[in-house]
Amino acid sequence: MFEEIIYLLCQVEATPFIPFGPNYLPSYKDSMTYFGCLAIILMALFPIYIGSYLSLYNAITNRSQDEREKLTATDAWMFPLIGSASLLGLYILFKVFQLTEYVNLLLTSYFMLFGIVALASSISPFFESFLPSSFTTPATTSFNFPNIPLINYIISPGKKEISVSISDLICYIIAAGVAVWYTLTKHWISNNLLGIAFSIKGVSLITLGSFKVGMILLGGLFLYDIFWVFATEVMVTVAKSFDAPVKLLFPHDFFYHTHQKNEFSMLGLGDIVMPGVFIALCLRYDFHRAFTRRNYPKTLKELAKRKWGKPFFTFNFVCYIVGMLTTLFVMHFFKAAQPALLYLVPACVGGLFLCSSLLKETNDVLAFDEDHAVYDNSRKKKVNKKSKE
């Protein structure tokens, strides 16, 4: 499900216009614009951090197996090509056929449906942490889904079982309220709530399996970003016309009010999710390192309390911040939209190799494959089958 959504998320990249130049003395208004971009960066870091730990938790406990999407090397090669086809298709619909209103209506409906699911599942752990067990214990019911043309391509007919708790119902009601709020007002806060939920689910559920696949994916998107932003007007046109919660927004006039229409700093969710899944893989590799050494955490509670080393995750997380700040500086300096992945990809991939070189683990990093790293049920030992072959 989320792999198809990610194709759409990658259509929108960072496209704010900020009036800074090398000899420009910023006014108070421009300073607030700068503050808005920093706020965008902070909002981008939140889903990467939370999503990375959720991806580790899912890998350890084998939770969300049905929802997790694993990208193979072939998927990584094809991802930029499919993304380019989707981007060009949207551009033709927006620019040539002038169907912006109808396309946005269709896409908004699509994103609202999955946005409710993403937001509800994202806030569910928060409610489960303080609600009584009677609210969090699910009740299971079964029903027969009818044979409906077209719909059965998504949901097959037959007997279905649904497990729902009172906590789940509360979360879905809240998520539906946010979706209705966004549909009626397009308010930037409701947009960001849905966008952050999409990002958390994307980072936590999309797995790469190995760093080689991750580098293929990021390398392809690096070229994809450069071509569609610098060589054509396609990316910017689609970003400005695409009216769905696929980007984070922060208003320039947050601390002051004008009679002019709000202008926003923006960041496409693709610039969060794609580096995010790579950073999440770094965290899982750090756990792999900790688990194969003497002082590995033996239980989830011990995992949470023990200060096990996370050098690759920490280093890449900092590199992502550096990449975002570099994007911000270049946008300010040249007063033009910039493809964020142009700076984020070298930061993340370069950070991985720099960290592995410092720790003298480059060969281990390149050989790492999650398919051959399996936890047994007691989680007391991690066996790398590949080393036995």
Report, as residue numbers or ranges, the catalytic residues: 225, 271
Please state, in angstroms and rounded to a whole number, the distance separating the CA atoms of residues 52 and 280.
Answer: 4
Residue burial 11-30, b: 16+ Cβ < 10 Å; e: rest: bbbbbbebebeeeeeeeeeb
Residues 6 or more apart from 354 whose CB is under 8 A from it?
Answer: 315
Backbone angles phi, psi at 194, to 5 degrees: -70, -40
d(CA 37, CA 335): 14
- Exposure string (b/e) for 68-102, b if CB count within 10 Å is 16 or more? beebeeebbeebbeebbebbeebbebbeeeeebee
The packing angle between helices 270-291 and 28-61, to 10°, is 40
Residue 294 is which amino acid?
R
β-sheet bridge partners, residue 264: 251
Dihedral (C-alpha) 15, 208, 6, 334: value to the nearest 10 degrees?
10
217-237 as b/e: b if 16+ CB within 10 A: bbebbbebbeebbeeeebbbe
Taking the CA atoms of the chain, what radius of gyration do you get in angstroms? 22
DSSP 149: T
Q: Provide the phi-psi class of 232: left if phi over 0, else alpha when psi is between -120 and 50, else beta.
A: beta
